[in-house]
């Protein structure tokens, strides 16, 4: 008989049950997020945006926000942390809510005013969808632009 110590660790029932339950819950949330197709449960949300190939001869759509500032100039709102503190992906993720209630764009104007107090304030904002054709995976022609919603900024 060997007298060497064993490296085996045996878990008691409660710790083992707890680990199995936690694993089942995490896997359940992951599976549900995939079925519901939502990114709201990140990092356990759907990653389907990366799971399918794009048609190399299709179209690409992107969302941007245009602003008319107090000087009358029309410019593209910089959708990043230093521009208005919100990224384009966040806008795209909330697009349905914004289209249902364009007043949500007020927070973009307020963020711009807070982050760039020396710049002319925004007076009007527009959600714009650009669509670009692809041939062999490369953009061709000019993008078509469609205004989806507008908001007159409140002082």
Mean pLDDT in residue range 6-28: 83
Query: Buried (b) or exposed (e) across 76-115, using 16+ Cβ within 10 A?
Result: ebbbeeebbebeeeebbeeeeebeeebebbeebbebbbee
Cα distances from 135 to residues 6, 140, 142, in angstroms, run 64, 7, 13
Give the integer Cα–Cα distance in Å for 122 and 19. 53
Provide the pLDDT confidence category of residue 103 given band limits of 50, 70 and 90.
very high
Give the integer Cα–Cα distance in Å for 131 and 139. 10
Task: Give the mean pLDDT of the chain.
Answer: 87
Mean pLDDT in residue range 12-29: 87
Mean pLDDT in residue range 65-94: 94
pLDDT, position 13: 83
Kindly give, in sequence order, each residue whose CB lies less than 8 Å from that of residue 59, ignoring residues fewer than 6 positions away. Answer: 131, 132, 133, 134
Provide the pLDDT confidence category of residue 10 given band limits of 50, 70 and 90.
confident
Residue 150 has pLDDT above 60, yes or no: yes
Range in 17-21, 22-26, 34-38, 150-154 with the lowest mean pLDDT: 34-38
Q: Which two tokens stand for residue 67?
A: 């602003």
Provide the pLDDT confidence category of residue 14 given band limits of 50, 70 and 90.
confident
Mean pLDDT in residue range 81-96: 92
Range in 14-18, 34-38, 57-61, 141-145 with the lowest mean pLDDT: 34-38
Give the integer Cα–Cα distance in Å for 152 and 155. 10
Rg (CA), the chain: 25
Give the integer Cα–Cα distance in Å for 114 and 96. 26
pLDDT, position 154: 96
Residues of the chain with pLDDT > 90, as a percent, come to 63
Query: Buried (b) or exposed (e) across 32-60, using 16+ Cβ within 10 A?
Result: ebbeeeeeeeeebbbeeeeeeeeeeeeee
């Amino acid at each position: 008989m060997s007298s060497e110590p064993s490296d085996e660790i045996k878990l008691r029932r409660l710790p083992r049950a707890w680990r199995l339950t936690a694993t089942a819950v995490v896997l359940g949330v992951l599976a549900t997020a995939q079925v519901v197709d939502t990114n709201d449960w990140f990092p356990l949300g759907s990653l389907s945006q990366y799971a399918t190939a794009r048609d190399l001869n299709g179209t690409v759509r992107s969302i941007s926000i245009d602003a008319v500032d107090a000087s009358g100039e029309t410019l593209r709102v910089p959708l990043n942390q230093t521009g208005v503190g919100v990224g384009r992906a966040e806008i795209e993720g909330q697009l349905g809510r914004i289209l249902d209630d364009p007043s949500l764009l007020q927070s973009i104007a307020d963020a711009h005013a807070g982050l760039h107090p020396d710049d002319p304030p925004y007076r009007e904002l527009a959600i714009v969808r650009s669509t670009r054709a692809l041939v062999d995976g490369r953009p061709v022609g000019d993008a078509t632009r469609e205004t989806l919603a507008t908001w007159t900024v409140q002082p």
